[in-house]
Amino acid sequence: MLDTPCKACGSKEKREVHHFHAEWADANGIDWEKMKLLHPSFHWETFQTAEDFIDSPYNMMVLCEKHHRAPNHGIHHLPYPDWVMQMNKLEGFVFSPDEVKRDV
Ligand SMILES: [Zn+2]
């Protein structure tokens, strides 16, 4: 995970980790029995507390700062189908107005 590039753009600049399947803010509301059904490949035999899942590599997604937290691009700011479009877009496709190159 230490050398993993951003999942969205492949950049290795300003990398952060995103809690993908479960965030700490939701820890008290998670039904772990449901999570076991949704994530059968997680090593549940090691699970004792919420931390074991939430801070596990299984739950982490490496993202650059832009695709994690930036307005118009960050996974914390966009609906998931919109966010994932950034991974699938054609070269040159303008996803957000801040990507328009302007002559100065
Ligand atoms: Zn990125």
Cα(6) to centroid(ligand 1), Å = 5
Cα(45) to centroid(ligand 1), Å = 33
pLDDT for position 27: 95
Cα(11) to centroid(ligand 1), Å = 6
Cα(32) to centroid(ligand 1), Å = 30
pLDDT, averaged in runs of 10, over the chain (104 residues): 89 96 96 97 96 96 97 96 94 89 70
Cα(97) to centroid(ligand 1), Å = 17
pLDDT for position 101: 75
pTM as predicted: 0.85
pLDDT for position 104: 62
pLDDT for position 99: 85
User: Cα 61 to the chain's mean position, in Å?
Assistant: 5
Cα(38) to centroid(ligand 1), Å = 26
Torsion 45-49-51-54 (CA) sign: positive
pLDDT for position 2: 72
Cα–Cα–Cα angle for 80, 85, 89, nearest 5°?
A: 170
DSSP code of residue 6: P
